[in-house]
Amino acid sequence: MKPLLFLLGVFLLSSCSQEIGEIRVLIKDGITYHQESNEPVTGIVESFYPTGQLRTRTAYENGKKEGLDELFHQNGQLSLRVNRENGLKEGLYEGFYRNGQLSYRWHFKVGAPDGVWETFDEDGKLMKTQTFKDVVPQ
């Protein structure tokens, strides 16, 4: 399988709030590498909409998503927030409407659905609840 070149706008890598600069990354076998050095990415990678508004903020460790991963709507509101461990969803996974209202709240354990999943309408009314237990990750 050919490596996938990941170019979603401008990326900034920072570690401990220290700006490193614009980077281009290459994803191969699930690991994200600096295109220039072939070193696995460690730190915070941000991408931006053409307007300059923040689009994504993702934490990496040794080329894998590790820690907080956030996506934003074009209006600046948070769209998605998920924690990752070893590249897999772990713990709380939340999605938000453009107006900032919670859309869904799900839980994951080692990348698989786990616990109570809730879905809400744009006014915050609970629409659906589902419970998962002992789901085998795919």
Walk me through the domains of the chain, giving residue ranges and CATH numbers: 4-132 (3.90.930)
pLDDT above 90 as % of the chain? 64
Residue 83 has pLDDT above 60, yes or no: yes
Q: What DSSP state is assigned to residue 40?
A: B
The dihedral built from the CA positions of residue 30, 97, 132 and 61, taken in this order, carries a sign that is positive
Q: Give the tens place of pLDDT for each residue, 95-129.
A: 999 999 999 999 999 999 999 999 999 999 999 99
pTM of the model: 0.77
Token pair recorded at residue 84: 């990752």
